[in-house]
Amino acid sequence: MAMCVDRMRSKLPSVAAIVLVATTAALSCPSPVSANEVWMTAGVPVINQEEKWRGARADVAEMWTPDAPWKSVSQQIQVVLFSPGSIARAKDDDVLKQAFADMKRRNVAFALEAGLLTKTDKCQATTEAYLDSIDTLARIVDRIHRAGGELRYLAMDEPFYYGHQYAGAGACHEPATELAQRVAETIAVIRKTFPNVQVGDEEVIDSSRSETDELSTWVDAFRAATGQNLAFLHADVAWSGAAIRNLAPLATALKAKHVPLGIIYNADSDPTSDQAWEQNAIEHFSQIESVMNIHPEQAVFQTWVAFPSRITPESQSGTLTNLVLQYLHRPTTLTVARQGNDLVGRLTDDHGQPVAGAALTAEAVDVAGRLATEREVAGTVPKDAATAMIAIRANIESSCVCAGDGTTKIGTIHYREAGSNREADIAPGPATESSEAGPLRSFALTPTKTIVSNLKQIAVSGGARYTLSAPIAATDSSDKAGYVTAIFFDSTGKGLGRNMLWFRPSRQALPPITTGADGRFKLALAPNLAAAHPTVEVHYPGNANLRPALASIAYAR
């Protein structure tokens, strides 16, 4: 007989995962607790702030006072995570002392994320996994100690990915055993100051199953070099469908090796507002913990982009602490099933009681790649740019056909600049079919084939805001397997960066849903949409007490 069992954790209430049930019967109890620990990125005011970060999370100084507006979250999280720059460029020692003292008062542990790989004569890589010098890290550790900090956790910044798997400029492809030995030497330096620090890792999980499986080799190499297991492994998910699915075998492999799995919950790289970033991150933790039924030991809320622009207050939508607060709310159970040509479902709280009058949203995801919809990405032209190459890439240059054969269809590509008359409409090549979105060219994607299609070079205005758009259809296996791009160059032909319009299955909003007095709902799909056999996702946005929820079902024949 099945039973519900709560796992105990310090400081956290019982936070049950949201459950997907693809039948008409709802479960009588919630899933196991989502995470034993909740981590959150933080920091202090710094000097010499890089231009791209100016204004981002400038309220960080307000976190470390007794009346800071994140009381509920601070009482329920276990760990705050700083970057090395937060320590090295801290405004002064006083702001560090205040932060560390407040952490102790709140009973929150301190973690540092840092690259630990030293460079060699053969490898002079410049990624974040590699140290400029071990002396730099030693000074950071010493500053933490002098300011009264207690370094409980050290999160290595992707040493295996950047040291072994990374294929970009300056890649070294070093063996796991050599990487682990150099990391062990760096850890020994840190433990002179903090002998009890627990060392874990952050690693990229993308659409490559073979690279995910390689992490077992890295875990073994670390244990052999240090004599200890990793204290945790935090998955930095590339947020494609295939990457999310790779979390399942990773969780199984880590459990067998007694290494706790953590998942970094953030957003895709393209949200353009605080609210969009937060909503995207909510979708990610809901997809993993409800639909995939994967329950990490550690839920890590972290960001490497300018969004969200504020950390607090926790009561304000679009802040980092508001995202964490929503994760910590009472759980809900959302079910969905097919009943004839309709979808039916129910929403209940953690006591199995119906949630009545809840406004739900639903989307049809075109996993078969039949419906092309207009996509758009916006950005600012690099200030020294003179031209841009409008191009298509697949299985190369940051993209990977790693989930099997797929297909994408692309229509006319549009480049538009604000405040100038510069615009261009570029065909992706000879059309192979037509749709409501106009003529489309179909691209077959396979793991053994790369696509490098440079379509047209156009003049651009440095510093101008621009949009890049095109109608795109993509199968589920093509998710992030390639992209339409604008690649910017200066007058000498030097590359200055690019913006990517990724291949992703189209999404179409369905009519809004409201749950009845019994928490139940029904949704009918239009015949033409049902004929495309989409996957339907139903979202509950949560409220002041209840956690967001997601349920998903394939609308197959």
Q: Kindly state whether residue 12 falls inside one of the protein's structural domains.
A: no
Residue 73 confidence (pLDDT): 97
pLDDT tens for 117-173 read: 999 999 999 999 999 899 999 999 999 999 999 999 999 999 999 999 998 889 999
390 and 315 housed in the same domain: no
175 and 200 housed in the same domain: yes
Q: Kindly state whether residue 16 falls inside one of the protein's structural domains.
A: no
Could you list the residue range(s) of the whole structural domain that residue 486 is in? 373-505
Question: Is the backbone of residue 214 left (phi > 0), alpha (psi -120 to 50) or beta?
Answer: alpha
348 and 431 housed in the same domain: no
Given a contact cutoff of 8 angstroms between Cβ atoms, the answer to whether 203 and 161 are in contact is: yes
Total domain count for the chain?
3
Query: For residues 29 and 51, what is the distance between their CA atoms, to the nearest angstrom?
Result: 49
Classified as helix, coil or strand, 446 is: coil
384 and 348 housed in the same domain: no
Domain closes at, from 301, 328, 355: 328
Q: Kindly state whether residue 195 falls inside one of the protein's structural domains.
A: yes
Residue 8 confidence (pLDDT): 32
Here the tokens at position 170 are 């300056």
Q: Kindly state whether residue 410 falls inside one of the protein's structural domains.
A: yes
Residue 18 confidence (pLDDT): 27
Query: For residues 462 and 485, what is the distance between their CA atoms, to the nearest angstrom?
Result: 17
Domain closes at, from 306, 328, 350: 328
Residue 24 confidence (pLDDT): 28
Residue 52 confidence (pLDDT): 66
Q: Along the chain (557 residues), what's the average pLDDT of each consecutive run of 10 residues?
A: 33 31 31 75 87 78 94 97 95 96 98 97 95 94 98 98 94 97 97 98 95 98 98 96 96 98 93 93 94 94 94 97 96 92 93 97 95 93 97 94 95 95 95 91 96 98 97 95 98 96 95 97 89 93 94 85
Residue 185 confidence (pLDDT): 97
362 and 222 housed in the same domain: no
Residue 424 confidence (pLDDT): 97
541 and 468 housed in the same domain: no
320 and 301 housed in the same domain: yes
Given a contact cutoff of 8 angstroms between Cβ atoms, the answer to whether 531 and 364 are in contact is: no
215 and 94 housed in the same domain: yes
Beta strands in 446-481 (DSSP E): 451-459, 465-474
Residue 368 confidence (pLDDT): 94
Residue 211 confidence (pLDDT): 96
Query: For residues 77 and 107, what is the distance between their CA atoms, to the nearest angstrom?
Result: 9
